[in-house]
Amino acid sequence: MNMRPLSVAIIGATGMIGQEFIRVLEHRRFPLGQVQLFSSDRATGKKLFVNHKEVDVQEVSSRSFEHIDLAFFAPGAEVSRHFSPIAAKAGAVVIDTSAAFRMEPWVPLVIPEVNPQDLKDHKGIIANPDCSTIQMVMALYPLHKTNPIRRIVVSTYQAVSGGTGAAAMEELTVQSKQILEGRNTTPHIYPHQIAFNVLPEIDVFLYNGYTKEEWKMMEETRKIMRAPELGVSATCVRVPVYICHSESITVEFANPITPEDAKKTLSQAPGIRLLDDPDISLYPMPWSVAGTDEVCVGRMRRDVSHPNALVMWVVADNIRKGAALNAVQIAEVLLQKGWMKVA
């Protein structure tokens, strides 16, 4: 990427995704010039290293975005909703990992391997999809292009790092230790203990019995794939895993499709890694996928209940491809295509 270094801001820099932004930007040798790190007032004064240089974490304010080319947002939706328009008005291109703008008609919701063309006419704010949506659509869209998808039924098994971050990871550790020592445990992050348990509740319940997380997956998938009539049903479950979301996906196509044809298509798709050999128990698992960039697919098989359907198992690192990596890839596309005006 041959261009001058960019002035970059990371909002939510001390959180899990914010720190992953730093690692991904360094690893991919993104053209970083001045880097400014922002967080809440509680984190003000902390110091983090970026490209071996110590950078102070500042409290974000309405004046934080002067002379910023690119702003990566990784705070909660409320902070993003307030500061993203301010940053965009100041001239920065905002890439937001929260849910604040995902379903706004004027905001591109982008997975670079799927719909990079949607970035072309952005208006200063670009949304990163939900981590569970990203890995599912990554696995399904290459198949959809060859054989239109009619219906998706997905069950997710989501790590505690997703959405609830370091505090939930700590709670899982503490609860596990307490239970193994025969002590009582009290949940703080979730409505019930997460250690040695699974919770079919992520985010709030809606009027129709779905949770907000499930509804987000369904609506985001339709928007990204430009398929407003696509049938999608999701059940999202929190599991006692630190990193990586897993998904069991049943997908119905317009025409018959074999597992062999699907695997051939996915083997040629960018960002996908096939791990699928039942004879040697080869399939994606969180412990082996954590820290990697690919969306991993396995357990590909016919759905014996429907002639045009397949079933598969998909695992990805929710902090990397599910958040920071996808956002950095968006920035890379903007630069490569000349769709980002840099002063």
Q: Residues with catalytic annotation? A: 131, 245
- Count of CA atoms in the C-beta half-sphere (13 A) of 328: 26
End-to-end CA, the chain: 17
CA 328 to chain centroid, in Å, comes to 12
What's the rounded Cα separation, in Å, for the pair 168 and 190? 8
Inter-residue contact 95 to 73 (CB < 8 Å)? yes
DSSP 137-198: HHHHHHHHHHS-EEEEEEEEEE-THHHHHHHHHHHHHHHHHHHHTT-----SSSSS--TT--
- Torsions phi, psi for 321 (to 5 deg): -65, -30
Helices 161-180 and 16-27 sit at what angle, rounded to 10 degrees? 120
